[in-house]
Amino acid sequence: MSNHTALPYTRRMAIPTEPIGSIPRPASLLQTISDFHAGIISPRALDEAYTAALHDTIRRFEQTGSPVVTDGEQTKPSFATYPLLGLTNLAPDGVVIPFADGHTRQLPRLTSGPFRYSVHAGSFCKTAKNLTVLPIKQAVISASALSLLYPPTGIPSYPREAFLADLLNEAEADIRSALHAGAAVVQIDFTEARLSLKLDPSGGLLRSFIDLNNSVLSRFSAEDRKRIGVHVCPGADHDSTHSADVDYAALLPDLFQLNVGRFYLQMSSEPDRKRTLQTVNSVLKPHHTVFIGVIDPVNPSVETPDQVHDRILEAASILRPDQLGATDDCGFSPFADDTSTARDTAFAKIRSRVEGVNLASQTLSL
Taking residues 280-284, report their average pLDDT.
Answer: 96
Per-chain mean pLDDT for the chain: 93
Please classify residue 130 by burial: count the beta carbons closer than 10 Å to its beta carbon, then call 0-12 exposed, 13-18 middle and 19+ buried.
Answer: exposed
pLDDT at position 12 is: 41
State the angle between helix axes of 27-37 and 43-63 in degrees (0 to 180), rounded to the nearest 10. 160
Taking residues 80-106, report their average pLDDT.
Answer: 93
pLDDT at position 14 is: 86
Does the pLDDT at position 9 exceed 60? no
Does the pLDDT at position 11 exceed 90? no
pLDDT at position 10 is: 38
Taking residues 139-166, report their average pLDDT.
Answer: 97
Q: Max Cα separation, the chain?
A: 65
Does the pLDDT at position 17 exceed 80? yes
pTM of the complete model = 0.93
**What ranges make up the beta strands (E) of the chain?**
90-91, 96-98, 104-106, 109-110, 137-141, 185-189, 228-232, 262-265, 289-295, 324-328
pLDDT at position 137 is: 97
pLDDT at position 237 is: 84
Find the angle CA(111)-CA(114)-CA(115) to the nearest 5 degrees: 80
Per-residue pLDDT band for 339 (boundaries 50, 70, 90) equals confident
Closest by CA to 239, choosing from 283, 205, 269, 197, is 269
Give the three-state DSSP class for 320.
Answer: coil
Taking residues 114-142, report their average pLDDT.
Answer: 96
Distance CA 266, CA 244 (A): 10
User: Which residues, including other chains, have CB under 8 Å from residue 63's CB and lie 6 or more apart?
Assistant: 347, 351
pLDDT in tens, 38-88: 999 999 999 999 999 999 999 999 999 999 999 999 999 888 899 999 999
pLDDT at position 13 is: 52
Does the pLDDT at position 4 exceed 60? no
Report the topology of domain 27-363: TIM Barrel (3.20.20)
